[in-house]
A and B are shown apart, each in its own frame.
Chain A
Amino acid sequence: MEAKQDLKISGAGSAGGGIYDEVKISGSGNINGDLECNTLKCSGSADIEGNVAAKNIKFSGSAKIRGNIKAETMDVSGSVKVNGNMDTDEIKVSGGSQIIGDVKTKKIKISGTSSIDGNLHGEEIDISGSINIKKDCESEIFKASGSMNIEGLLNAGEINIALHGRCRAKEIGGENISVRLSAFGDSIVAKFLKSMFSYRRELITEAIEGDNIYLEGTTAKIVRGNNVAIGKGCYIEIVEYSGEIKIVDDGKVEKKVKI
């Protein structure tokens, strides 16, 4: 087997695509083709014209990829823009990322900000930063404690949302759905913040459908489920339930229908 070479750009430079072992861009680099490598590290500014296939990717500078990304792990602490689709095992975003296509991954952890114009398919999604998804979001486990805006359907087996700010989803569906107001809300800092800004912890959605549903701070047109509990700060127009309904802490429900 031929040994693969490394590619290092540390000043300003450009290279064609190709197959490498390690690629490091620490200055400003242009890559004018498809790139296949073992590890890709960008700490400067990078512009990749083609597709990227790599085992491990680390972006700590600013990078722009015009094609698709296929990788095992991807770590973003800088800012990244991807014009194509992404197919990975694990993504960590603590910086900012913008993806124009679809994202498929086993695990994704977002503590920074991320915006996805396509669909997000994952097995484990963990959001403590903020996320913006233009289409649907599907996952086995969905955990969010930051802010989120999903313009399509949020579909997950386990949905756990701790409300710290304003969250939106067009529709939510799944097996176990739990939305809770964050504990932080009653602290002095929060009260201070509330008086300073229009700080509201709420989830706004059209419809929620699931087997077991627990809601706080949620405004929805319709909630359908087997066992439904409506708690503090909720305003629900219609609840349709087949098992039990519980309304606690002044949750507001306009109409209850047992099916």
Chain B
Amino acid sequence: MKEELISKKELLESTDISYGQLYRWKRKNLIPEEWFIKKSSFTGQETFFPREKILDRVEKIKNMKDDTSLDDLAQIFSTEVSDIKISYNEIVEKNIIMENVVDIYKDFSSMSSVYSFNEILYMTILQEFLIEGSISIEESKNLLQTLKDNYNKYAGKSCEILFVRKMGVGIAIMLSASNEIYFEKLSKIVMRISINEIIEKLKLKIKELF
């Protein structure tokens, strides 16, 4: 899985932003350090970016920067989890997560009236899986348990969760982002989700609640 790259020059041309803007966004941590990939060229060094990720990010920043401050945007894009807490009613009313997904989560963990950001994140991931119809409700407990036991170990680093099934038996696996992983022939990757992308989406959704 080799990522396609885009040079800095091409990026600026195709998105119509200036060097100043790019550097400003870098300073504000809107563009993560690890996306700046240095490669040597005839003029010394040239900077490249992962094409899809950077184009998507620049588009988002351009769309939102008029009504959201850069600091708020940084908050949305950071992989850090926020310490927000949201009540059951709010989650359902504000349409953050579908009611029956929250109910599955309620069955799984002990009853509580407010949920932390991490818990809401787990529910959002579960929802993604269930909407795709890739896992059963029974398997979703498995998924939630895997997330709950392991997500904190990644502490802000980007990671992925995938679900593999072999002859009817499902296994949830977590791994740090952009690792290559291969399985034996009979097993099938049912779904693979980047948790960072989910965090970003979720933060956008609950932006008004910050």
Contact = CB atoms under 8 A, between A and B. Distances in A.
A175 B45 contact: no
A95 interface: no
B10 to A, nearest CB: 11
A221 B40 CA distance: 13
Contacts of B108: none
B27 A207 contact: no
Interface stretch (B15-23, B119-127, B159-167, B191-199): B15-23
Given A138-B27, A155-B26, A211 B44 contact: no
B43 interface: yes
B20 A175 contact: yes
A259 B14 CA distance: 12
Given A226-B18, A259-B13, A209 B23 contact: yes
How big is chain A's contact interface, by range? 20 to 34
Nearest to B33: A136
- Chain B contact residues (Cβ within 8 angstroms of A): what range? 10 to 19
Contacts of A129: none
A185 interface: no
Contacts of B9: 224, 240, 259
Interface in B44-68: 44-45
Q: Interface SS of chain A: helix, strand, loop or mixed?
A: strand
Contact of A206 (B23, B26, B44): B44
A209 B9 CA distance: 11
A206 B13 CA distance: 22
B19 A157 contact: no
A50 interface: no
Contact of A222 (B24, B27, B43): B43
Interface in A135-176: 138-140, 155-157, 171, 173-176
B43 A173 contact: no
Contact of B19 (A138, A139, A225, A237): A225
A225 B23 CA distance: 12
B40 to A, nearest CB: 11
Interface of B: 9, 13, 18-20, 22-24, 26-27, 43-45
7 contacts: A138-B26, A175-B18, A176-B20, A211-B20, A224-B19, A225-B19, A259-B9
Interface of A: 138-140, 155-157, 171, 173-176, 206-207, 209-211, 221-222, 224-226, 237-238, 240, 259
Given A156-B27, A173-B22, A206-B45, 10 more contacts: A156-B23, A174-B19, A207-B45, A209-B19, A211-B20, A221-B43, A221-B44, A222-B44, A224-B19, A240-B9
